[in-house]
Amino acid sequence: MAGAESPAGRPSELEPVVSLVDVLEEDEELENEACAVLGGSDSERCSYSQGSVKRQALYACSTCTPEGEEPAGICLACSYECHGSHKLFELYTKRNFRCDCGNSKFKNLECKLFPEKAKVNSGNKYNDNFFGLYCICKRPYPDPEDEVPDEMIQCIVCEDWFHGRHLGAFPPESGDFQEMVCQGCMKRCSFLWAYAAQLAVMKVSPEDDGLVLNVDGIGDQDVIKPDNGGHQDTTLKDDVPEHGKDAVKEVKAEQNNEPCASSSSESDPQTVFKNQSLNTESPSGCRFQELKAKQCVKKDTATYWPLNWRSKLCTCQGCMKMYGDLDVLFLTDEYDTVLAYENKGKIDQATERRDPLMDTLNSMNRVQQVELICEYNDLKTELKDYLKRFADEGTVVKREDIQQFFEEFQSKKRRRVDGMQYYCS
């Protein structure tokens, strides 16, 4: 397929040439995106009966629960059946959520698919996304007033969405990362900095203020920069958990934010500790205990993580308690990731997807099957020969050419049928 041609037989510069391959690839990309978001969710049955679903596509209804009301989320099936004509906010996917459709938050609506719901789902978590607001700037997406082109990335801890320019560290230009943890979550779950120096895909903005890391997991120490350029540490913002209290160290950063624990470390905070290996088997049985003595400097930024980084987190009893206290036990669940959800959707879709040609064949008798297969082979052979002429001549296949081919093919088919002789035995 193509646009107009110039007199010389070449594509006109006014209309871009679009090949059949381009169309198929674009169609496949759109189908994969839809499958990634929706494929792991049921489009016909309300998910309420499944309890808090590990991960599912969610929507918020601005018509039923506008800003100022209590936030609520609805499953994919309810978005179709109960809110089809309403204004919805697409929330992509969220973890451990139970459908709210028709419960006490919806004053004038009863769920058509599963009306027997409890008044509230106490295990659900909500944020500004349920009112169509995202990021620390609390703006809608797309934002009609924002003229800066920017992608939005979801934090895998709080599951809010952020503009790349509001994360303190721009996403790697190569896009070579799987997950992101925002600034606020890195601050709350500061144990992740013990892993970040060796696992994260780091790209730190040099203008960010440095922080001294409290390596025992929760809370940070601000680095105050007096007039003389030195550093003074304030008290911890949060209590230190029981796990690791026996090894608490007050670590101090030097004036240039260089690491303070290892003489073999590099001085560049963006590449610090890259030469050290991550011990998967530490003498104490705790990887975190082993790592926290090696790092002490971080930046007030988001972090970007590669595929399978979660499998490197320590799962000893003390660390699991720390994750529980921070409400991030899901980090140790390999099926919690969006990637796992997307892959499940693709597998489910591939299983359900049926070949229309095979369906047609199965509905025919033996004679009809043979005739259809012969017709298909004829069509394939003639189309291949027809397109080969264009390839040999280096010309573009136009819409009219395709139409002409099928008209001629149908004409030949009619002549063959009209010329057939039938005999009675």
pLDDT tens, the chain, 425 aa long: 444 444 444 544 555 565 555 655 666 666 666 666 676 688 899 999 999 999 999 999 999 999 999 999 999 999 999 999 999 999 999 999 999 999 999 998 999 999 999 999 999 999 999 999 999 999 999 899 999 888 899 999 999 999 999 999 889 887 789 999 999 999 999 999 999 888 998 644 334 444 444 444 555 444 333 333 333 333 333 333 444 444 333 333 333 333 333 333 333 333 333 334 454 455 568 999 888 877 556 778 999 999 999 999 999 999 999 999 999 999 999 899 988 888 887 776 666 555 566 667 777 887 887 787 888 888 888 888 888 888 888 777 888 888 888 888 888 776 655 555 444 44
Residues in the chain: 425
**CA proximity to 214, closest of 152, 292, 162, 287:** 292
For residues 319 and 382, membership in a common domain is answered with no
- Whether 74 is covered by a domain: the verdict is yes
Tell me, rounded to whole angstroms, the distance of Cα 410 from its chain centroid: 47
**CA proximity to 59, closest of 50, 71, 67:** 71
For residues 150 and 86, membership in a common domain is answered with no
The answer to whether the beta carbons of residues 119 and 105 sit under 8 Å apart is no
Distances from the Cα of 253 to the Cα of 29, 235, 289, 345, angstroms: 47, 15, 20, 46
Number of helices and strands (H, E) in the chain?
A: 10, 11
- Whether 56 is covered by a domain: the verdict is yes
DSSP state letter for 142: S
How far apart, in whole angstroms, are the C-alpha atoms of residue 331 and residue 326? Answer: 11
- Whether 42 is covered by a domain: the verdict is yes
pLDDT for res 32: 66
How far apart, in whole angstroms, are the C-alpha atoms of residue 286 and residue 194? Answer: 12
How far apart, in whole angstroms, are the C-alpha atoms of residue 89 and residue 131? Answer: 7
Number of Cα atoms under 13 Å in the Cβ half of residue 233: 17
Residue where the block lists tokens 């005999």: 423
Amino acid at 19: S
pLDDT for res 93: 92
The two tokens of residue 15 are 């209309």
- List all residues 6 or more positions away from 290 whose beta carbon is below 8 Å from its beta carbon: 279, 282, 283, 284
**Strand blocks (E) in 279-354:** 297-299, 303-305
The answer to whether the beta carbons of residues 308 and 1 sit under 8 Å apart is no
pLDDT for res 403: 87
How far apart, in whole angstroms, are the C-alpha atoms of residue 368 and residue 195? Answer: 64
pLDDT for res 251: 32
pLDDT for res 294: 76
Last residue of a domain, one of 108, 131, 154: 131
How far apart, in whole angstroms, are the C-alpha atoms of residue 344 and residue 187? Answer: 32
This prediction has a pTM of 0.64
For residues 88 and 155, membership in a common domain is answered with no
Last residue of a domain, one of 340, 371, 401: 340
pLDDT for res 25: 66
pLDDT for res 38: 74
Amino acid at 100: D
For residues 127 and 41, membership in a common domain is answered with yes
For residues 299 and 378, membership in a common domain is answered with no
- Whether 295 is covered by a domain: the verdict is yes
For residues 408 and 307, membership in a common domain is answered with no
How far apart, in whole angstroms, are the C-alpha atoms of residue 13 and residue 232? Answer: 64
